Amino acid sequence: MAYKLVEVNDKATAKEFLMLPVRLYENEPAWIRPLDNDVNKVFDRKQNKSYRSGECIRWILRRNGQEAVGRVAAFYDKKVAARSEQPTGGMGFFECINDNEAAFTMFDACREWLAGKGMEAMDGPVNFGDRDRWWGLLVDGFCEPNYCMPWNFGYYKELFEGYGFRNYFNQYTFGRSVSLEGVHPIIMEKAERVYSNPEFSFRHIRKKELEKAAEDFRTVYNQAWAGFSGVKEITKTHARALLDSFKPVMDERLIYFAYHHEEPIGFYIMIPEINQIVRHLNGKLDLIGKVKFMYHKWMKTCNKAYGVIFGVVPRFQGKGVEGGMIKAFADIGTRPGFQYREIELNWIGDFNPPMIKLANQLGFEIVKTHVTYRYLFDREKEFKRARIRGREE
């Protein structure tokens, strides 16, 4: 079989890159077509900050010079690459027919291009940007994907591993109902204790108070997360921009803060799982798409909430604040007529045992597993999985 790679460098090939998965997955009911804009902005220099210190290339794979049967992107960010034991780039947005030769042709191209840029390894399939989108290969739980998360054929696992990619870390998506059923008794006991203590309060935000919510978020985040390796403190501007980005889909009842004597000590940020709406838009958020979006929002099509980020300041961790926020949400979430019946969390890596333990204690169970693979260009070099995360000394 003759396969040929064609670089994506004009509108025609960019459209082919976008439309290939539409054709591949046309008979897969669980697959949800992403919004075109969400994919395109990854490769837009004006919208993707990773271009400031990195490069990206995309290819279409043609069979016999005509039919497109695969696509892939390769990229690197010098700042990200420098954090690894060896300079590591990435490959992603991989789609392919079930054929080793086709897949390996694209893997070879990514490896050779990245090696030419000074990289010594590649992770994939990952995003040219932040980890909260387009990250990992789905290997278990082939139900509908969450917004901007990958869904792929099951045979992709064999293609990656057959080429020589190895499991760098697992990514677990946890889910549960909105009830308190299944929460560990110790967590509930602590939660009840702080919930009834007048020194503590738990409440959801108000859109008219986003400035305060952003500052409270920043206060907690910089204590709860910025101590981890590779995680920087968040600025006031960044915090407000993050909350502003949620505004089009924000439901006040899904974003909770915990306070001790009115000092912010925890947050639990959820948004409606809008892929339940996106599945009706056929990739387009044009005028008609926006009307459809508003219609489904009004009709309360979303019955799942998506946990974006969770944090408690260190001195209050393990003291019931986590359960207190869950209880505050459940008090509303279990009322008749509340539209959200399920919660899924943003993925947690197996390098983060404390968060996995907390998710289990809160009654969450793994519903999807993605894998981030790594391929070392020097095949004699020792492969090391992602180190267990801890605070830097």
| pLDDT at residue 107, rounded to an integer | 98
Same domain, 121 and 211: no
| 110-167 pLDDT per residue, tens | 999 999 999 999 999 999 999 999 999 999 999 999 999 999 999 999 999 999 999 9
Cα-based distances in Å from 152 to 24, 139, 156, 157: 10, 8, 7, 9
Do both 69 and 197 map to the same domain?
no
In this structure, are 118 and 267 located in the same domain?
no
Instruction: Look at residue 198 and tell me if it is in a domain.
Output: yes
Tell me if 259 is assigned to some domain: yes
Mean pLDDT, residues 72-93 taken together: 93
Residues 120 and 195 in one domain: no
How many H helices and E strands in the chain?
Answer: 12, 14
Residue 353 covered by a domain: no
Q: Considering the domain boundaries, does residue 382 fall inside one?
A: no
128 and 90 housed in the same domain: yes
Is 354 domain-assigned? no
Total structural domains in the chain? Answer: 2
pTM of the model: 0.92
The answer to whether position 360 is within a domain reads: no
Residues 228 and 192 in one domain: yes
Do 44 and 159 reside in the same domain of the chain?
yes
Residue range of the domain that includes 41: 3-171+372-376
122 domain residue, yes or no: yes
Q: Which CATH number does the domain housing residue 30 bear?
A: 3.40.630.30
On whether both 190 and 332 belong to a single domain, the answer is yes
Residue whose entry in the numeric block shows the structure tokens 């992603």: 92
Per-residue pLDDT averaged across 311-338, rounded?
90
Residues 165 and 183 in one domain: no
Q: What is the pLDDT of residues 210-263, one digit of tens each?
A: 999 999 999 999 998 766 655 678 899 999 998 998 888 999 999 999 999 999
Residue 135's contacts (CB-CB under 8 Å, 6 or more residues apart) are: 125, 126, 127, 149, 150, 171, 347, 370, 372
If we measure between CA atoms, which residue out of 66, 72, 38, 77 comes closest to residue 152? Answer: 72
Is residue 319 one of the residues assigned to a domain? yes
pLDDT (tens digit per residue) in 207-219: 888 999 999 999 9
Does one domain contain both 122 and 235? no
Long-range contacts of 356-361, Cβ-Cβ distance < 8 Å, separation of 24 or more? 356/172, 358/322, 359/172, 359/174, 360/184, 361/183, 361/184, 361/186, 361/187
- Dist CA 6 CA 15 (whole Å): 13
Categorize the per-residue pLDDT at 348 as very low, low, confident or very high, splitting at 50, 70 and 90.
very high
Pair (184, 92) in one structural domain: no
Specify whether 128 is located in the same domain as 84.
yes
